[in-house]
Every structure is written in C-alpha cells, then in structure tokens.
C-alpha cells in the first residue's frame, strides 16, 4: 500500500507531493504506462522529480530511465490551474497502481505435502529462485528462434504506426488476459515523444541500444526485454519475423530469457514449465509467468536439452535425469496438488470444520462491491472487514452515494463488519485535508478522526445505519487505544441514530486490536465491546516499531512474539475475537491461529477455498 507522506504547496498555481514505490517489482513498464496515460488527461505541466533529475511525467521512457525500485520515493509536481485537484487525483491513481500489481495465483502449502526440505528427492538437483510455484515432470527443451524474412515497402514511420495499431488491437481483443496490460504498456512506449521523433530504423535501433545499455548491470537489467519486444514488433512490420519455436509435446522450456510477447504464447502451447538463466524476479516475463501460473524458476547453470527432468518450482529445484523413485514421488505430489486445488474449489461453499469437528468461519476482507461479490463467489461465510475508505477514492461521496454503496454490499451476506474510515498513515483521500505530520502512522488516523473530522465521520455513520435497514451489521472502530475512545465513538453513533430515528438494535459494536496499549487493557474493554478483530498488519508494525511500508526494514509476520500476543489476547478476551490481518491468509499461520483457539479468520477472497481446505486437512 502506497502512502503520501509529504505535501508541498509553494504557490496557488503549483503544488507537489511525495510518493513511494511499494510494488516489489519497482515502478516498471506496465504501471508507468498506465500512469503516463493518466497524466495525458490533464493540461497542466506535470513533472516527476527524483534526486537531481526532473523528467516529463508524460514521457514513459524518461520515467523508465529513472529505474525507480521498491521503497524509493519521488516528487510529483503539478503547475497550472487548480493543481491540487490534479495532484490528488494522480496520487490516488498511482496508489491504485501499486495496489493492483499482478500477483501470482494462490498456491497451497502444507508441511505434509509441500515440505521445504529439498532432500525429499534422492537427487539433490539444481537450486534456483522461484518465479511461480508448481510441480511438473517432462523433458527439457531449449528455446530456439527462427528468423523469417519477407520483404515489403513499408517505411519506418509506417511500421511504427502499424505496430501501435496492432498493440491497440491486441489490447482490445485480449482484455481478459494478463498480457492485455503489457500490450497497452508497449503501445504507450511506442507513442512516447522521443520515439515519435525518430525517422529511420537505424535511429530507432540506436535508441533501443542506448536504453538497453543504460539498464545493464543495474537492478533493472531485466527491463531490457520490453525494449527488445517493441524492436521485434517494428522489425516484424518491416518483414523480419522472429518466431519462438515450441515443441508439440509437454516440455520444460529453458532459455536465457523470454520476451513478454513470447511468454504470452506459452499459455497456449505444450510448455508445462519454464527455466530462465539471465532473467530476474523483477522482469516483466517473470511477472507474466506468475500471472499465467506456469511453474518456473531462475537457474544460472547450463542445461542440456531432452533430459527428462523434475521441475519442482515449489521448492525451487530442477532435478535432471531423476531416478524412477524421484519421478514417482514427483508425480504423486502433482496429483495431490491438483486434487487439493480441485477439492478446494468444489467445496468452497461448504462449512469448514477441523479434523476434531470444530467449525471455523472463513470471512473476507473487501474494499468495494466488486470484491464483496468475488468473496461471495469464493465461498466466504461473511465479511470480516469492509475497508470503507476504499469505496470513495477520488471525490467526497454524498450521504445517498454512501448509503447505496453500503446497502449493496450488506445485501450479499447475513452479517457484515464495516470499519469506519481509517485514513491517515498509508491511506489518503484527496478531499480530506490532513495536517502535515512527520510520522503519520502515529498521528491522526482511525478513531482519532472522530475529533479531527467530525462531519465526515457523522455522515458515514448515518449512511451505515440507513443502509442496514434492520440487517445485522458490526460497526468496528479502528486504531482504538483506550476504553474512553471506544465509549466516545459508540456514544456518538447512538446520538446520530437517535437524532435521525435510525435503529441500532441490529448493530454490534467492536474494535480493531492494532494498538499495543489494548493488550494491557482487555479486562477494561471486555464489558464494553461486543466483539474484537485483530488487525495484525498494524499490530505487527507497532510491536516491532517497524513501519510496514518501510523500504528496507521488515518485521517477521510469523514471529513467535506476535503469536504469543495473539494467544494472550485470545485467552483474556471474554467476547468473540477474530483475525482480519493478512497473516490469516498464510496457511502455516492459519494452522497456528487455530491451535491457539481462533475460530473466525477474515482473509483475501482469492485465498478462501484453499484456506478452507487447509483447515479441513489439518
């Protein structure tokens, strides 16, 4: 999650903001292209400033040249009429890009099946870096490229225009595929002002060579493939076609690297796994391999074609010439893995019980109607956390808009837990003026908005109560640190209900436990609240004094200290208590939570079927 931590306004026509790259892939081509396309909607002068470099925010190549990695910050400046409105819109758009980064499909992990001990096999094999998990058994096949020349009379400018048109067509026709965004990114790359100035193939080739050389020996070396891909497309329009030759039988492809366009062809081929030698986990090809769910790893060693091999990407292993016993073990694990995935999906609507017969409620963390609907389709037993601040990212909603949005979500489930606005820290809304704070994670956020922004909160509470119309809901107050804060927040809610004659007998009131002070006041909270939900994301950062968006410092999400705290909370609580942090989406963690005694977990919707099956399997 991105956060906007410094806002500057030097004069009426100019303002800027500090943004942080939170994607593990850095600010790479796809989000840059989307960002550049968004900036083109505005007429002001928009500049991206990094260290001593100032670049046009509407130039994709200029931004790529900054090689911005995870954790790095840049300043976004807008000069012109009403700059603050544009700045806020772009800042929130950037934040959505960081949140929407391509993630790998969910995978099942269970120590009894996916042991992390490579000695599972007789042959030790070669160890590599995991791109996308999975297990396949097939012969190795070396990638080969065939060049086919067909002369035509196109000029470079004509080839450039045809390439842009082709990318636009591919983007339109393949909207539902992971590579659609890559086509759009490459189209934006070719539309860049610098490339549009070029007139000959020689100039274009020199331009590509210069940019590739600038990326070599840097952490963004893998981005060279994107420039090679657009060069390949231009050449193909001029009659020089590069074709990746693929086998007709199931095989494990190995290559130095793959172009994004080449990865897109693998999903429809007989390739069952991929091994790359000179790529990186940050490459566009690696991101696409994850999104397609193709088992793949990076190995620096040289390989030999036609060798029957086991690619155990879940362990980051390649075992060439495996023994009969190793093949038997691998095939068994493949079947077990497939069976678990199929069972998980087919039983996603079933109740979840442990082997001991204890029923576990698997709820969903959602942000809007779309994600709530997805949660319903994935088999969620309810909504354990509705992050209401994400419903209205760009403009302040009216009472009617909020009421309608909440009501649509409430209709999907028997009971929904909605968290009141939790902005501040790493979440900003453009229409909410927040005082500049040197450490926003320890400042005005969560329940503290009841005092700093009372009108905003009162409108939201009124909308929630109107939307419920007798439907069972939980109202949860975030960042509560003292019993008084909870009592004041609940009292305000009751006054609003009384003022507008709204019912509250269908409402339960609780808190998110994320501030360490609550740990020592549970006895005082027990008589006051109806329920607790532990927000492990913030609780972890406050326990270890490590900001969860920090670029280099990271707290262990599976620390024994955290589980000791959770066990203490569970033991001392006399009211229903659940987990709604991301820790509950980790299979190993969910098992520990169940051992403590938790029977309600709220997780990412896509993880629901597998977590349910993990619990059933024990």
Q: What is the pLDDT of residue 483?
A: 96
H-only helix segments in 500-531 = 522-525
pLDDT tens readout for residues 63-117: 887 878 878 889 999 999 888 888 888 988 898 888 766 444 444 333 333 334 4
Q: What average pLDDT does the structure give for the chain?
A: 84
- The rounded distance, in Å, linking the Cα atoms of 252 and 310 is 9
**Which helix (H) or strand (E) element contains residue 48?**
strand 45-50
What lies within 8 Å, CB to CB, of 462 at 6+ separation is: 399, 496, 500, 502
Give all strands (DSSP E) within 317-441, no chain letters.
317-320, 352-353, 359-366, 383-387, 416-419
Q: Inform me whether the pLDDT recorded for 129 exceeds 50.
A: yes
**Which helix (H) or strand (E) element contains residue 443?**
none
- The rounded distance, in Å, linking the Cα atoms of 191 and 160 is 9
Q: Which class is 118-145+244-344 in CATH?
A: alpha beta
331 burial type by CB count under 10 A (0-12 exposed, 13-18 middle, 19+ buried): middle
pLDDT tens readout for residues 485-531: 999 999 999 999 999 999 999 999 999 999 999 999 999 999 999 99
**Whole-structure pTM value:** 0.57
What does each C-alpha distance from 91 to 6, 60, 273, 286 come to in angstroms? 12, 17, 38, 27
476 with 418: CB under 8 angstroms?
A: yes
496 with 565: CB under 8 angstroms?
A: no
- The rounded distance, in Å, linking the Cα atoms of 429 and 392 is 8
Half-sphere exposure of 538 (CA within 13 A, CB side): 25
Q: What is the pLDDT of residue 218?
A: 56
pLDDT tens readout for residues 237-292: 888 888 889 999 999 999 988 887 788 788 789 999 999 998 877 676 787 787 67
- The rounded distance, in Å, linking the Cα atoms of 48 and 66 is 10
- Quick one: what percent of the chain has pLDDT higher than 70? 86
The domain 7-99 having CATH identifier 3.40.50.880: the answer here is no
Q: What is the pLDDT of residue 224?
A: 77
Q: What is the pLDDT of residue 553?
A: 61
> Which residue, 403, 365, 402, 408, is CA-closest to 386?
365
Average pLDDT over residues 390-397: 69
pLDDT tens readout for residues 473-491: 999 999 999 999 999 999 9
Q: Inform me whether the pLDDT recorded for 6 exceeds 70.
A: no
- The rounded distance, in Å, linking the Cα atoms of 361 and 42 is 47
SS3 for 554? Answer: coil
- The rounded distance, in Å, linking the Cα atoms of 513 and 516 is 8
Residue 219: pLDDT band with limits 50, 70, 90: low
Top pLDDT among 454 and 436 is at 454
DSSP string across 108-153:
---TTTS-S-GGGSSS--EE-EEEE--EEEEEEEE-EEEEEE----
Describe the crossing of helices 587-596 and 608-617 by its angle, rounded to 10 degrees.
Answer: 50
Average pLDDT over residues 150-155: 83
144 burial type by CB count under 10 A (0-12 exposed, 13-18 middle, 19+ buried): exposed
Q: What is the dihedral of CA 551, 557, 561, 564, to 10 degrees?
A: 150
- The rounded distance, in Å, linking the Cα atoms of 462 and 496 is 7
- The rounded distance, in Å, linking the Cα atoms of 269 and 249 is 9
DSSP string across 287-343:
HHHHHHT--EEE--S---TT-EEEEETTTTEEEES--HHHHHHHHHHHHHHHHHHHH
The residues with which 577 forms a beta bridge, in sequence order, are 532
Top pLDDT among 450 and 384 is at 384
Among 169-183, 258-272, 584-598, the minimum mean pLDDT is found in 169-183
Q: What is the pLDDT of residue 5?
A: 41
Q: What is the pLDDT of residue 282?
A: 60
Strand arrangement of the beta sheet that strand 317-320 belongs to: 126-127, 317-320, 308-312, 135-142, 251-255, 271-276, 296-298, 129-132
Look up the CATH number of domain 360-617. Answer: 3.20.20.60
DSSP letter (8 states) at residue 585:
G
How open is the CA angle 588-594-598, to the nearest 5 degrees?
130
DSSP letter (8 states) at residue 520:
G
Q: What is the pLDDT of residue 83?
A: 87
Q: What is the pLDDT of residue 429?
A: 57
- Quick one: what percent of the chain has pLDDT higher than 90? 39
Q: What is the pLDDT of residue 371?
A: 84
């Amino acid at each position: 999650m991105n956060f906007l931590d410094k806002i500057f306004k030097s004069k009426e026509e100019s303002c800027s903001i500090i943004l942080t790259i939170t994607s593990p892939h850095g600010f790479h081509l796809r989000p840059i292209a989307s960002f550049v396309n968004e900036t083109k909607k505005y007429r002001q002068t928009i500049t991206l400033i990094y260290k001593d470099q100032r670049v046009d925010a509407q130039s994709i190549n200029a931004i790529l040249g900054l090689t911005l990695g995870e954790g790095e910050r840049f300043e976004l400046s807008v000069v012109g009429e009403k700059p603050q409105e544009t700045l806020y819109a772009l800042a929130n758009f950037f934040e959505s890009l960081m949140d929407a980064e391509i993630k790998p499909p969910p995978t099942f992990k269970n120590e009894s099946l996916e042991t992390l001990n490579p000695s599972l096999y007789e042959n030790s094999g070669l160890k590599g870096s995991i791109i996308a998990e999975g297990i396949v058994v097939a012969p190795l096949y070396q990638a080969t490229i065939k060049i086919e020349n067909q002369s035509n009379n196109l000029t470079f400018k004509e080839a450039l225009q045809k390439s842009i048109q082709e990318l636009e067509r591919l983007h339109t026709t393949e909207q539902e595929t992971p590579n659609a965004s890559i086509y759009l990114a490459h189209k934006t790359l070719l539309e860049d002002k610098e490339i549009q100035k070029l007139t000959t193939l020689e100039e274009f080739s020199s331009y590509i060579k210069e940019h590739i050389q600038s990326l070599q020996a840097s952490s963004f070396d893998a981005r060279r493939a994107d420039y090679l891909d657009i060069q390949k497309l231009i050449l193909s329009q001029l009659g020089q076609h590069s074709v990746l030759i693929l086998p007709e039988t199931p095989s494990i492809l190995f290559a130095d690297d793959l172009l994004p366009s080449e990865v897109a062809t693998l999903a429809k081929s007989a390739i069952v796994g991929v091994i790359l030698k000179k790529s990186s986990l940050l490459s566009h090809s690696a991101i696409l391999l994850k999104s397609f769910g193709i088992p793949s790893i990076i190995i620096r060693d040289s390989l030999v074609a036609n060798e029957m091999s086991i690619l155990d990407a879940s362990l980051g292993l390649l075992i060439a010439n495996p023994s009969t016993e190793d093949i038997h073990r691998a095939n068994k694990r493949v079947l077990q893995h497939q069976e678990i995935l199929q069972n998980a999906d087919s039983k996603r609507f079933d109740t979840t019980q442990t082997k001991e017969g204890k029923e576990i409620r698997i709820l969903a963390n959602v942000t809007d109607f779309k994600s709530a609907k997805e949660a319903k389709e994935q088999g969620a037993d309810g909504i354990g956390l509705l992050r209401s601040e994400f419903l209205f990212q760009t403009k302040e909603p009216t009472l009617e808009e909020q009421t309608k949005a909440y009501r649509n979500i409430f209709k999907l489930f028997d009971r929904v837990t909605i968290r009141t606005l939790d902005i501040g820290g790493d979440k900003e809304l453009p229409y909410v003026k927040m005082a500049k704070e040197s450490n926003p994670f320890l400042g005005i956020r969560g329940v503290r908005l009841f005092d700093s922004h009372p009108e905003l909160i009162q409108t939201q509470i009124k909308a929630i109560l109107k939307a419920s119309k007798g439907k069972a809901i939980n109202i949860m107050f975030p960042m509560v640190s003292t019993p008084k804060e909870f009592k004041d927040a609940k009292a305000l809610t009751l006054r609003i209900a009384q003022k507008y004659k709204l019912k509250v007998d269908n409402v339960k009131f609780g808190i998110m436990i994320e501030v360490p002070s609550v740990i020592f006041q549970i006895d005082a909270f027990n008589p006051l609240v109806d329920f607790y939900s532990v927000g492990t994301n913030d609780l972890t950062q406050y326990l270890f004094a490590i900001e969860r968006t920090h670029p280099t410092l990271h707290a262990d999400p599976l620390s024994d200290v955290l589980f000791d705290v959770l066990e203490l909370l569970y033991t001392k609580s006399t009211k229903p208590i659940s987990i709604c942090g991301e820790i509950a989406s980790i299979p190993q963690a969910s098992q520990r939570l169940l051992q403590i005694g938790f029977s309600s977990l709220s997780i990412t919707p896509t993880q629901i079927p597998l977590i349910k099956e993990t619990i059933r399997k024990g």
